[in-house]
Amino acid sequence: MPNTQTTPLDRPDTRSRRERMVERQIAARGVRDARVLAAMREVPREAFVDDSMQEFAYEDAALPIEAEQTISQPYIVAHMLEAAAVQPDDRVLDVGTGSGYAAALLAWLGDEVYSIERHASLAQSAGERLQALGFENVEIRTGDGTLGWPDAAPFDAILVAAGGPHVPDALRQQLAIGGRLVMPRGDRESQELVRITRRGERDYDEEKLGAVRFVPLIGEQGWLEHRRQGEARDRREGRAERQTTLAERIRAASEPLPDPDDPASGAMFDRFADARIVLLGEASHGSSEFYRARAAITRRLIEQHGFRIVAVEADWPDAAALDRFARDLPPREGAQPPFRRFPRWMWRNTDVEAFIGWLRDHNANLPAAQRVRFRGLDLYSLGASIEAVLAYLEDIDPKLARTARERYGCLTPWQNDPATYARAALDDRYRGCEKGVVNMLGDLLARELDHAAEDPDDWFDAAQNACVVANAERYYRTMYHGAAESWNQRDTHMFETLQQLLRHGGAQARAVVWAHNSHIGDARATGMGRDRGELNIGQLCREHYGDQARLIGFGTDRGTVAAADDWDEPMRVMDVRPSRADSVERLSLDAGRPRSLLDLRPGVHDVLREELSQPRLERFIGVIYRPDTERWSHYSEASLSEQFDAWVWFEETRAITPLPGADRPGKAGLDDTWPFGL
């Protein structure tokens, strides 16, 4: 067993990711073998994938490797290892070396490992990885894995990482008495995992361990290579026929959607106007059609149905600047221009500018108390929110302002780069920050009766900024401990902010929410909820408001998108790749409607809803787009009809147009840079 704790690849961040993988993906699904769990914790999976895939090494999915092969899903590997029950003195045969990951785990668990790979290039690279990591008890050869390794037999355990039509006789014969063979068996599309235990010379027990899907087992006693192309073609044609049938049913159920600029477009969403909250998604943060469609729907809900809150996936202080402009209030003295940090284009674009301009014109005809508000739900504004709280308190309570400066002073070093606070918060010297910001929020809330009566809007704004500071501190502190914890903290904050907006607006207040599909689609119907333990605002709205919350998702097949290659890098316009053949988007494309609305509420198209409840891949593009790794960067499984109450489809979308940094024309005596100027 190598000393994997000393490998240079075993950094603290990857070790913590392995711990989370074992806890959430493997142990939580029922794998109990302590040695298997220990091996999964120790062997660095990122060392067995290409550099471009390393960020996905601990995702709950198979990943591509060379020669059109894959490294299996971590849970499946652990499941097979537990079934094989490898002991410290065992001799093991590994059929299908691939990247070498399973061989490394077997080497950690057993004594001698013999691994066969039919692709010479894979065998060579796997051997180099294993040698670099110190695994000296593995021997690899290139050959036909279905014939086994007779010279090294018998084996106490045999693992086969490819699916065959039957268990090869050669492998059965190479099992020792009492030995276990674990492999997928079935057709090329789907298999069941079986365990064969040899009880005697001709006596074998067989157990079925569940459905799986592996690459084909190619060889003399598996699938023959020359059959592959014809069978793959037949399989594709059969699948296409089934998808076409489902696509036809989608076409029959979906309704043609006018262009977002057509007034008839928004009217199609009147059916959702009886809800208290209508959540409108987007498949990317940089596609104009999504912004324009949400604007059209929102205008209709405001004008015809009395909605008075628009709550968006943006920071509270930034959205507050647009809100003041939309309600014809002057900018706050000393306030910085909004949307200065990455990704500025997400809200500083011509589509948002047009909506805010419309909202200002609409509000101009209403009494102040009835004007529609534009509010932010997010929590990234640590520095700006601290400044806003201090500015408010300086005016109304200088003594409390001094207390606030002392309490917030703990966070001063990180106001401009709060992500670095995550690591600093592990130091005992900075753990007191949490107590200070929480106490500050409590003190401000306790003074509601003293200060809210004079100007309830100003007090509410300050209170929400104090809440942002408290929750942002917690968010950045949990970043170091894992993505799920920080994601859940963020979406819980957004949901609680939405609740505060509704309470502040009164018993009849109703809201429209603009956020990404990953936030407004019910997380319980997606891989993020089922596999990673993440929740979102859509799930929380359904749990608290039931049918009074309607979740509407958006999708596209292709076009262009405004996005960056990585965080804090410049925005550029990129081509969106056509959707995958096994995705929800491809079904929508095959339905043949350029724009459409599909109503997924119970009782509308129940047979189709049942069909669309099956998990399929769905694309999610944020402010970062990586076409070269799109399958792993941007697709995740989701059950469409459980995720959303409706699905809005645009076959082709185009990138939003960012606003330039230069000043823009002002209005009615206001400064020319208001509200979008820099």
> What string of H, E and C letters represents the secondary structure of 89-151?
CCEEEEECCCCCHHHHHHHHHCCEEEEEECCHHHHHHHHHHHHHCCCCCEEEEECCHHHCCHH
Q: Report how far residue 139's alpha carbon sits from residue 352's, in angstroms, rounded to the nearest whole number.
A: 61
Q: Report how far residue 671's alpha carbon sits from residue 630's, in angstroms, rounded to the nearest whole number.
A: 43
Point out which residues pair with 158 in neighbouring strands: 93, 181
The helices-and-strands tally (H runs, E runs) of the chain is 25, 20
- How confident is residue 225, by pLDDT bands cut at 50, 70 and 90? low
Burial tier of 667 (Cβ tally within 10 Å: 0-12, 13-18, 19+): middle
What are the residues whose beta carbons fall under 8 Å from the beta carbon of 395, sequence distance 6 or more?
none
**List 52, 72, 121, 613, catalytic entry:** 72
- How confident is residue 458, by pLDDT bands cut at 50, 70 and 90? confident
Confidence at residue 532, expressed as pLDDT on a 0 to 100 scale: 80
Which pair of tokens denotes residue 640?
């469409």
Judged against a pLDDT cut of 80, whether residue 484 lies above it is answered with no
What are the residues whose beta carbons fall under 8 Å from the beta carbon of 83, sequence distance 6 or more?
180, 182, 193, 195, 209
Sign for the CA dihedral angle at 65, 70, 76, 79 comes to: negative
550 phi, psi to nearest 5 deg: -120, 130
Confidence at residue 236, expressed as pLDDT on a 0 to 100 scale: 46
69, 215 contact by CB (below 8 A):
yes
Q: Is the pTM of this model over 0.75?
A: no
Average pLDDT over residues 504-515: 95
Confidence at residue 590, expressed as pLDDT on a 0 to 100 scale: 93
- How confident is residue 308, by pLDDT bands cut at 50, 70 and 90? very high
Torsion of CA 225, 230, 231, 232, to 10 degrees: 90
Helix (H, G, I), strand (E, B) or coil at 184: strand
Average pLDDT over residues 326-350: 88
pLDDT tens-digit readout, 175-216: 999 999 999 998 866 789 999 999 998 899 999 998 888 888
Confidence at residue 151, expressed as pLDDT on a 0 to 100 scale: 93
- How confident is residue 449, by pLDDT bands cut at 50, 70 and 90? low
Give the distance between the most distant pair of CA atoms in the chain: 95
DSSP 244-261: HHHHHHHHHHSEE---TT
19 phi, psi to nearest 5 deg: -60, -45
Burial tier of 355 (Cβ tally within 10 Å: 0-12, 13-18, 19+): buried
The Cα angle at residue 249 between residues 243 and 251, in degrees rounded to 5: 100
Sign for the CA dihedral angle at 605, 607, 609, 612 comes to: negative
Torsion of CA 174, 180, 181, 185, to 10 degrees: 140
Confidence at residue 351, expressed as pLDDT on a 0 to 100 scale: 97
Confidence at residue 14, expressed as pLDDT on a 0 to 100 scale: 76
Which pair of tokens denotes residue 465?
């900024």
94, 103 contact by CB (below 8 A):
yes
Q: Residue 311's Cα: distance from chain center in Å?
A: 21
Measure Cα distances from 81 to 32, 38, 78, 106 in Å. Answer: 11, 12, 5, 8
Indicate if 288 belongs to the active site. no
Which pair of tokens denotes residue 2?
């190598």
Confidence at residue 336, expressed as pLDDT on a 0 to 100 scale: 75
What are the residues whose beta carbons fall under 8 Å from the beta carbon of 242, sequence distance 6 or more?
none
**Of the ranges 122-136, 422-436, 516-530, which one carries the lowest mean pLDDT score?**
422-436
Closest C-alpha among 129, 126, 128, 130 to residue 69: 126
Which pair of tokens denotes residue 525?
């119907």
Judged against a pLDDT cut of 70, whether residue 444 lies above it is answered with no
Which pair of tokens denotes residue 77?
């590997």
* Architecture of the domain defined by 4-223: 3-Layer(aba) Sandwich (3.40)
